[in-house]
Structures are given as structure tokens and as C-alpha cells.
Amino acid sequence: MRYIIISLLFLLSTIIPLPLNTAFADDGGQGQGQGQGNGDGGNGDGGNGDGGGDQGGWGGGADGWGGDAGGWGSDAGGWGGGGGQGSVASRDADRCPLTLEIHMVGKTTTVPMTSDGVLCESCVAVDPNNQIKLELGEGTRVVLGNEKPPHTIEVTLAGSPPLPGNAVSVQTVYELNAYSHEYSITPSPISISPPARMTLAYAPDELPENTSSLCIAYYDEAAGKWLELETAGYVAEAAEVPNTIAGPVSHLTLFTVLANLAETMPAKFETSNLTISPTQAQLNQEITVTVSVTNSGGTVGDYNLELVVDGIAKATKQNNLAPEMSQTVTFTVTGDTVGRHCVEVAGLTGEFEIKRHPMSGVNSWLWVASWAQFY
């Protein structure tokens, strides 16, 4: 009996096969098959097989992961179409197998690149304090001196070599270096084509008053001096971003923002408008002498003024005066001697007269007469 039951089950399984990925169709109908193909590229379904036979066809898969389209089955149910190309991510990984790391004062940005150093997408690297930004466009080629791509570009803080006499640094000095491997400690020369764009921020309130222009400068070690980059105000969305300056960078060295200073003249003082009041006074009456002082130079300075009366210094005034500013200086002197007196202040001259009181002579005679009465 066991043998008969096993034989019947076998017979039924051959008449009505129901595989996992095969659709069943009635006689005269269309069969469909769904299959999966496995390959190198990624997972995907194979095509559908349709046919007019008793059973559907198997979907097939071949060559790559996932087919583009299924094939049509024959009358008895055909095979599905072959597998197609790999996924987009897989194709990008094949084209851009390397990763460039950009360390911006502790903040890391990564960008994929080809085996010959061409960036596969645009990259914007910024430091944590938003003081320096490096922009590299898609298609930029970044290679070391041996024409091999770098593993790392690193931006760090650095000390400053001597600055030009007519300029001051108004930003931190940054050092840019490139390294061939993750654990390299020796920097390598690098070329960036087309040049990257560097943007540096600065604080307006730290600019000297006589700043004539700003620029990004790099240090040329061979020449031993700072050289200016061709820079312009950074433009984003057709509007200038305030307090930033940008320029092209094609190699790595020291960079900073320099403020070029206009040539300044030393403080220069000019005096004018000597005034004496009153010009006629009584004995022991105060006389006021004023003079205007102007600083026509380019820097703040101190001046000394001396009041001279009849060749004798009577008073001195000292003060501080900013460029292009004026002030009035006042002296006072007491007329203690009858007669005309000459006044001089910083080369300006004038005079005043002290007269005897008109009643002084009468009073003297009255005093003599009063004494005469007793004799």
C-alpha cells in the first residue's frame, strides 16, 4: 500500500508542478514566469516569460545583478530576460574608488575622486568657526608632485613670517599641506587645476584707520616674502558677503588676510588767529591771549605752545591733537608795567598797552595836600 501511495504522489507532482517562482496557467492560456538573476552589479528581478502553453515559463537572470527587462516566453512559456547593468552606486564606486579628506582646523570633509585625482563631485570645506572656506568644483584635478592623488589636504593654524612694512595681518595665518597617505607626517607639494577658491573672513573693527586695501596673501618661501593673490569680495547669490575676501588657490603654503596701509604723514601743527583782549588795559588788569592750533599731519601728536611777553616766557601749554583737528589755546597774563608790551606765540606776534589809571595822579596830589595840612 505504501508503494501505491508514493507512486500516486509522484504521478501528481509530475502532472501539476508548482515551483516557487513559476505561475500556473490553464490549458490554452498564457503562462508567466518570474525569475531573479544574480551577477556582479546589484540585485534585480529577471524578465517575465509569457507563453500559451500549459505552464508559465521561468524568469531568468544572468551576468549582472538585476535585469533591465524580461523576455517574452514561447508558446509553452518562455524564459525571462537576462540581467542588465549594475546599479548607479556600483558604477560610481567603480569610477571613483578613492576619497579625498580635507581637514579644516579639526573639521573633516570628504569627497570621492578617481584614481587619477579628479573630483567626482563639488566640495565645500569649512572650519568650525566659519573663518576659512575651501571650495573645489566637480572635475577639479588634485595631484601631488608625482602625479598621484593625495589622501589628505590639511589646514592648520600657523605662526607668521615677517610681514611687509606697509601691511598688517588682520586674520589668523593658516597653513595648507597635502599628504599622500593617512599616516604621512611629511607634506608633499600639490597642484590644483582649476584652482580652488579660498574665502577668509575678517573683523572690520580690527582694521587700521589708514587701511587702503585688503588682500589674501601667501608666503613664497623661495622669495622669502608675502605675495598677493588676485582677490575680490566673495559673491554668493549675486550679493557680496560682508567682511569676507576670496581668491584662487592652486598650491598649498601659508595664507592670511593683509591690510595694506596708506602712507601716513607725521603730525604737523600750524598756528593761526592770535587774539589779544583787551589790547588796552589798566595796571594789574588781566590780558587774555588765544591762538588756534591745527594738526595738518596724518597721525596723532603732541604740541607745546609758549607765551612770550617782551622776550620773556610767561606760560606754556601742552596738548594732544588728532589728524585734521583744530583747537583754541588760551593764555592769561597780568599787565604789571605801564607801557606797550609785545606778545609772541609760535611765531605769531601782537601787542597790548597798559595805561596808568586816570585818577592816579590826582590821588597823589590829594595825598600830598593832606599831609601838608599838618605842617
pLDDT digits (tens, 9 = 90+) for 188-226: 999 999 999 999 999 988 898 888 888 999 999 888 999
Single-letter amino acid code for the residue at 99:
T
Note the pLDDT tens digit of each residue in 107-123.
999 999 999 999 999 99
206 CB burial (10 A radius; 0-12, 13-18, 19+):
exposed
pLDDT at 71: 38
> Is the model's pLDDT at 142 over the cut of 80?
yes
SS3 for the chain is: CHHHHHHHHHHHHHHCCCCCCECECCCCCCEEEEEEECCCCCCEEEEEEEECCCECCCCCCCCCCCCCCCCCCCCCCCCCCCCCCCCHHHHHHHHCCEEEEEEECCEEEEEEECCCCEECCCEEEECCCCCEEEEECCCCEEEECCCCCCCEEEEEEECCCCCCCCEEECCCEEEEEEECCCCCCCCECEEEECCEEEEEECCHHHCCCCEEEEEEEEEECCCCEEEECCCECCEECCEECCCEEEEEECCCCEEEEEEEECCCCCCCEEEEEEEEECCEEECCCEEEEEEEEEECCCCCEEEEEEEEECCEEEEEEEEEECCCCEEEEEEEEECCCCEEEEEEECCEEEEEEEECCCCHHHHHHHHHHHHHCCC
pLDDT: which is higher, 346 or 2: 346
The pTM of the full predicted model, rounded to 2 decimals, is: 0.53
pLDDT of residue 266: 87
The second-level CATH assignment, the architecture, of 269-355 is Sandwich (2.60)
CATH code: domain 97-261 is 2.60.220
Q: What's the confidence (pLDDT) of residue 43?
A: 39
* pLDDT over 90 (residue 138): yes
Looking at per-residue pLDDT, the higher value among 135 and 58 belongs to 135
Higher pLDDT, 135 or 77: 135
More confident residue, 23 or 133: 133
Out of 7-21, 198-212, 230-244, which region has the weakest mean confidence (pLDDT)? 7-21
What pLDDT shows up at residue 14? 53
- Residue 35 scores a pLDDT above 50: no
pLDDT at residue number 330: 95
**pLDDT value, residue 80:** 39
Query: What per-residue confidence (pLDDT) applies to 335?
Result: 85
Instruction: Please report which confidence band the pLDDT of residue 299 belongs to, taking 50, 70 and 90 as the band edges.
Output: confident
Arithmetic mean of pLDDT, 242-267: 88
Residue 353 reports pLDDT greater than 80: yes
Does this chain's domain 97-261 share its CATH topology with 269-355? no
* Average pLDDT taken over every residue of the chain: 77
Q: Residue 372: pLDDT above 90? A: no
- Domain borders along the chain are 1-95, 97-261, 269-355
pLDDT of res. 166: 85
Nearest Cα to 136, choosing from 171, 107, 101, 106? 101
Q: 144 pLDDT band (50/70/90 cuts)?
A: very high
| pLDDT for the residue 233 | 56
pLDDT for 285 beyond 70:
yes
* pLDDT (tens digit per residue) in 302-331: 999 999 999 999 999 999 999 889 999 999
Tally of CB atoms within 10 A around 78: 25
- Structure confidence at residue 32 as a pLDDT band (50, 70, 90): very low
CA 14 to chain centre: 78
pLDDT for 22: 37
pLDDT in tens, 71-96: 333 333 333 344 444 455 555 778 99
When mean pLDDT is compared across 17-26, 103-112, 183-192, 297-306, the lowest value belongs to 17-26
Whole-angstrom distance, CA of residue 264 vs CA of residue 230: 25
- Lowest model confidence (mean pLDDT) among 19-33, 147-161, 220-234: 19-33
Q: What is the pLDDT of residue 240?
A: 64
The stretch 22-42 carries a mean pLDDT of 39
